[in-house]
Amino acid sequence: MNDFLWGGATASYQCEGGWQEGGRVESMWDVYLHENHLENGDVASDHYHRFREDIRMMKEGGQNSYRFSLAWPRIIKNREGEVNQEGVDFYNRLIDACLEYGITPMVTIFHWDLPQYLEEKGGWLNRDTCVAYTHYAKVCFDRFGDRVKLWATFNEPRYYTNSGYLIGNYPPGHQDIQETVTASYYMMLASAMAVEVFRTGGYDGQIGIVHSFSPVYTTDTSVESAIARRFADNFYNNWILDTAAIGEIPGDLLGELKKTCDLSMMTPEDLAVIRQNRVDYLGLNYYARVMVKPYESGETTLIVNNQGKKAKGTSQTIIKGWFEQVRPESSRYTEWDTEIFPEGLYEGIRQVWNKYHLPIYITENGIGLYEDTSVKRVEDDDRIEFMDMHIAAVLKAKEGGCDVRGYYAWSPFDLYSWKNGTEKRYGLVAIDYENGLERRPKKSYYWYKDVIETDGKHITGK
């Protein structure tokens, strides 16, 4: 598997810091977190100043690829589209450092940090944001495309819109089904528009999309459960994957949405852009499956645990008239209510490959833990066990004929975890936030290095 990409993944807001440096303007997350007096990413992992150290540690840990995102507020200054050369220079240095260390960059164009100047004009509820995004994407292709050959238009548009416009626990903090549908549609349109720019511009490489993937299971094989599964699959997966890979929004989903939502923004011209500009590959971020049963009663309820052990067991999903999520009592769960179910990754890869026949990258996989990082070395055996089981699932799918081309651990080092702050640790390298952001490799860092150097031969799957 010499051409297989073994790497780690980050996001600009979650790791860079330097929020007022190098000409960077405010993002919607800056404003939201500051105004609500919440833990923020002003400093985060200070990757902005310490990226060479971080990339060197990735190389020393055997990794041959780094998936990171570009910060739109660091590259484009204003609504007029003026380019911030300081921001471009920073990413040029970062990309060059990757290549210097023999690390393949996989670059995500948008990972949630929308410039505040666009949010003030409606953000993803405004089609003008699609146009602004397309300009931004072209700037990225022009400035970095000579060295970057793997692009992703968006990270997790489903999770972004559900959290920001339906659940309301992420900015802009709304709870409105119409807004959710509008923002979701415009993000998928913007993705297709960027693919069109990439194709017509003749840039070298591949462009895909990264999806928060949750394969859907049911409690039984009844007709009612099969219908609930289809509703859930549309809700969690098909809206993104069908649209990006096939160029078609699921018709039965549109039929359901039309009962309560205005779909007039979906013009024939824009739908043609979506249909004609499909992605080259699919990135799957896998943390857990979802198990559902037929809807029984109650209003639509979406509760996400962003408080860890203080709120364990509170997560709940009910989509009125569609389905209810079930949490099997026999399963293991993290402190943040995430089910540990590696079999879902194997089955999910097979489903996606058989349906779309596009190359697949596992663009995120990892486990959030409470950890004491003041020790000399964090003995994160739970992370090793989690990664071992999930990498085994990836290799099994690959050996079974699925075109899986890479695995990215979330994350190569500890970072800021959105509403969970820095308490929720995902890194292979510990960052001591209390003592100068010192980096110390965890036990999992060395374990992952051995996995990579032996092409996964030591994976047990247990």
Q: What pTM did the predictor assign?
A: 0.97
Residue-level pLDDT at 1: 45
- Environment class of 153 (CB within 10 Å of its CB; exposed 0-12, middle 13-18, buried 19+): buried
Strands 301-303 and 316-319: antiparallel
Q: Which residues contact 301 (CB under 8 A, 6 or more apart)?
A: 316, 317, 318
State yes or no: is 364 an active-site residue.
yes
pLDDT, one tens digit per residue, over 138-186 is 999 999 999 999 999 999 999 999 999 999 999 999 999 999 999 999 9
Q: Are strands 323-326 and 316-319 parallel, antiparallel or unpaired?
A: antiparallel
pLDDT at 262: 98
User: Which one of 53, 364, 423, 438 is the catalytic residue?
Assistant: 364
> What is the reported pLDDT for 7?
98
pLDDT in tens, 63-107: 999 999 999 999 999 999 999 999 999 999 999 999 999 999 999
- Give yes or no for a contact between 124 and 113, defined as CB atoms under 8 angstroms apart: no
DSSP string covering 253-284: HHHHHTTTS--TT--HHHHHHHHH---SEEEE
What dihedral do alpha carbons 292, 295, 298, 299 form, nearest 10°?
A: 80
The residue ranges of every structural domain in the chain are 3-218+235-285+332-452
Q: Are 77 and 24 in contact (CB under 8 A)?
A: no
Question: 404 and 357 in contact (C-beta within 8 Å)?
Answer: no
Q: What is the DSSP letter of 25?
A: P
Cα 256 to chain centroid, rounded: 27
Of the candidates 142, 278, 270, 139, the one whose C-alpha atom is nearest the C-alpha of residue 202 is 142
Segments in the chain below pLDDT 70: 1-2
> Which token pair is 298?
């109650």
Task: Look at residue 417 and give its three-state secondary structure.
Answer: coil
CATH architecture of the domain with residue range 3-218+235-285+332-452: Alpha-Beta Barrel (3.20)
CA 149/CA 171 separation, integer angstroms = 31
Q: Beta-strand (E) ranges in 338-462?
A: 339-340, 360-365, 404-409, 429-432, 438-441
